[in-house]
């Protein structure tokens, strides 16, 4: 059952007719979707997958496989991400049209890294290596997850930091900021029972106030002419349209239009809603603010130096590549010593279907496993 106050606020925000569709959809199973890493994989490895209209890399799967038991997942060939969340990446791609080489981007509330890796892929496709992406997460435990996912994705142009938004004291630093802010999580009710149980009108109002503070804290770091993409995974107007309207008035921004949107995506007063029952995925809301002034065409200063950003250990060491079959790959990912009779002696890269998984040291009788302990498969393989 849903809290009557939630239903009332939902009807205020999206209308009674749409509310009925959403409430019915929230009682059904969630869809499963992935987004390919275009630097590593160009074709979906799952049969009967359906393309997502707003993502060049996204697919909805027919059923949920065991991602843990897929070496391609551990090799960073794809990321498991809700299809609605991928629309934020599409908005980002549309906003890139106003910027030249040297673009500096901040993903402010980045963990676990789904949107960060989407932004990374889009930036590489558009600018090659002529960009800098800073992914930030304020909560230390979530920051560790973010760093691990960025490392697995394998982008040398993405740095990760662990800062409160109020500590971004550098003015006019970023061309684009993505603020996927903490919210009441209404759009995740289908996947997260805790979000449904903990919902209250008071929490919604608390989240809305916190979101306004985040926007006010980070706004000076956006350059004149820059773009701030604001998103939540909730439905209500207090955290979405009302906050964008507040930001436009209080921060001196204009609300940007992104142009035509795919079928099923609903326009709200100032942004765009993805609603269960109208799209296959969960709830997502996106709006765009533009800061007054001309777009910066000169490459930005070294954001990593200014923010003391931490660059993950990205890239494959220059060791011989040794391809293994699936059972051997899973044994390696589980942390076991493996035996490779035809591999060179010494340090090697264990690969699956040509994609590096990690290092090992072949001593002849066996290979000592050097795969990081924190990433190893815990379950029996």
- Residue 118: half-sphere exposure toward Cβ, Cα within 13 Å: 30
Work out the angle between the directed axes of helices 140-153 and 114-127 (0-180°, nearest 10). 40
Active site residue 183: no
Asked if residues 7 and 23 have their Cβ atoms less than 8 Å apart, the reply is yes
Give the active site residue among 233, 273, 351, 367. Answer: 233
> Encoding tokens for residue 200?
């209250």
What is each CA distance from 151 to 75, 197, 358, in whole angstroms?
10, 34, 12
Query: ∠ at Cα 217 (302, 167), nearest 5°?
Result: 50
The span from the first CA to the last CA of the chain, in angstroms, equals 39
- Residue 128: half-sphere exposure toward Cβ, Cα within 13 Å: 4
What is the spatial distance between Cα 253 and Cα 249, in angstroms, rounded to a whole number? 7
Q: What one-character DSSP code corresponds to residue 294?
A: P
What is the spatial distance between Cα 357 and Cα 340, in angstroms, rounded to a whole number? 15
Phi, psi torsion values for 180, nearest 5 degrees:
-90, 85
- Catalytic residue numbers read 233
């Amino acid at each position: 059952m849903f809290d009557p106050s939630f239903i009332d606020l939902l009807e205020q925000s999206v209308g009674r007719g749409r509310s009925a569709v959403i409430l019915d959809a929230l009682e059904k199973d969630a869809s499963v979707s992935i987004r390919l890493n275009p630097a590593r994989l160009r074709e979906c490895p799952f049969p009967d997958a359906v393309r997502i209209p707003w993502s060049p890399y996204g697919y909805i799967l027919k059923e949920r496989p065991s991602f843990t038991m897929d070496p391609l997942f551990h090799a960073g060939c794809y990321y498991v991400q809700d299809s609605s969340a991928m629309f934020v990446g599409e908005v980002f791609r549309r906003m890139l049209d106003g910027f030249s080489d040297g673009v500096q981007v901040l993903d402010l509330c980045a963990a676990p890294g789904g949107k960060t890796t989407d932004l990374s892929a889009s930036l590489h496709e558009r600018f090659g290596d002529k960009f800098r992406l800073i992914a930030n997460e304020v909560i230390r435990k979530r920051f560790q997850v973010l760093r691990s996912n960025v490392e697995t994705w394998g982008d040398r142009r993405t740095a990760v930091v662990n800062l409160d938004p109020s500590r971004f004291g550098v003015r006019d630093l970023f061309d684009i900021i993505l603020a996927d802010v903490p919210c009441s999580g209404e759009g995740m009710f289908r996947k997260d029972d805790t979000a449904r149980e903990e919902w209250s009108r008071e929490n919604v109002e608390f989240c809305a106030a916190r979101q306004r503070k985040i926007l006010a804290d980070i706004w000076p770091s956006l350059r004149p002419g820059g773009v701030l993409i604001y998103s939540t995974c909730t439905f209500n107007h207090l955290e979405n349209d009302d906050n964008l309207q507040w930001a436009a008035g209080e921060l001196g921004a204009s609300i940007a239009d992104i142009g035509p949107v795919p079928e099923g995506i609903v326009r709200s007063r100032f942004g765009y809603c993805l609603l269960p029952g109208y799209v296959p995925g969960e709830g997502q809301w996106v709006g765009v603010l533009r800061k007054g002034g001309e777009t910066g065409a000169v490459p930005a200063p070294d954001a990593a130096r200014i923010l003391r950003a931490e660059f993950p250990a990205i890239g494959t060491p220059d060791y011989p590549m040794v391809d293994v079959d699936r059972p051997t790959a899973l044994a390696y990912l589980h942390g076991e010593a493996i035996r490779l009779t035809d591999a060179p002696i010494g340090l090697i890269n264990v690969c699956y279907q040509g994609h590096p998984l990690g290092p090992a040291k072949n001593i002849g009788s066996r290979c000592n496993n050097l795969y990081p302990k924190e990433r190893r498969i815990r379950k029996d393989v």
